[in-house]
Structure 1
C-alpha cells in the first residue's frame, strides 16, 4: 500500500506540472492568439503528453520486463490519444454545449481524464506489482 501511495503522489506531481503546461499552452493559444478552443486544447494536451511520458516513465512507473521502450511508448500514446478524445469531448461539451468558461471546462476534463490515465497506465505499463 505504501508503494501505491508513493506512486500516486509522484503521479500527482507529474500531473500537476503536465497540467500547468497543458493549461498554459491552451490559454496562450486560445486567449492570446485567439485560436479555436479545440485546436488550443489539443496543442496543450499534446505538448504536455510528451512531458508526461518522459516524467511518468522515469519517476512514476517502472519499466515492465520484456516490454520494449517502443511498445511502451506506443501503448502510452494510444492510451493518451483515448484520453485526448475524452478530454476534447468533455471540453467541447461543457464549453460549446453548455457555455461553461474554457478553463472551468478544462478543469473538469482534466480531473476525469486523470483518473482514466492512472488506472490504464498502472494496468498496462507499470512493472511493479500492486501493493
Structure 2
C-alpha cells in the first residue's frame, strides 16, 4: 500500500490527487513563504503574489513530472512546461482575483486570502493538468 501511494508510477487519479496534494504542499510552502517575505520587505502583496506564484509553479512542475504524472501528452518538456505554465497563469489570474476580492472587498488579512485562493486554485490546477497534459493511456 505504501509503495502504491508513494513509490510506484501510477495513472490512478485518486493516487495522483493524493501525491499532488504533497506536491502542492511543497509548492505552497515556497509560494506562501516568498509571498510573506517579499510583502514584508515592502513589495505590494499583489506583486509579491505574482513572484511567489512563479517560484511555486516551478517547484510544482518539477515534482509533478517526476512523481505524480507518469504519462505525458506532449513529448517535448519545453512545450509541456509552456502548457503547464499556461494552466498556471489561468490559476494565477484566479489567485489574484480571489486575493484582491478577499483582501480588499472582504477585508481579510492577505495571508488569509492566500489560504482561500490556494484551495480553489489547487483543484483547478490538478484537474486541468491531469486531463489536458497528463491524461495517460486509456
Common fold: TM-score over 0.5: yes
Q: 2:21 aligns with which of 9, 12, 20?
A: 12
CA distance in 1, matches of 2:71, 2:78: 12
Q: 2:92 aligns with which of 72, 79, 84?
A: 84
Q: Counterpart in 1 of 2:105?
A: 97
Alignment partners' CA distance in 1, 2:69 and 2:124: 15
Aligned 8 A contact 1:62 1:127 in 2: no
SS at match of 1:99: coil
Shift of 1:72: 0.9
- Count of aligned residue pairs for this structure pair: 128
Task: Name the residue aligned to 1:123.
Answer: 131
Secondary structure, counterpart of 1:71 in structure 2: helix
Distance 1:46 1:22 in 2: 8
* CA offsets 1:12-32 (integer angstroms, 9 cap, x no match): 00000110100000000112x
Q: Distance in 2 between matches of 1:9 and 1:37?
A: 30
Measured in 2, the distance between the counterparts of 1:53 and 1:64 equals 13
Compute the TM-score of the two structures, normalised by the length of structure 1: 0.90
Partner of 1:39: 47
2:34–2:48 CA contact under 8 A, matched in 1? yes
Gaps of 5+ in 1: none
1:74 and 2:82 matched: yes
Cα deviation digits, residues 58-107 of structure 1 (max 9, x gap): 11112425532222111101101111011011001111222111111000
Q: Distance in 1 between matches of 2:117 and 2:107?
A: 15
Residue segments in structure 2 that go unaligned for 5+ positions in a row: 1-10
| CA-atom RMSD in angstroms | 1.6
CA separation of 1:65 and 1:80: change in aligned 2, threshold 3 A: closer
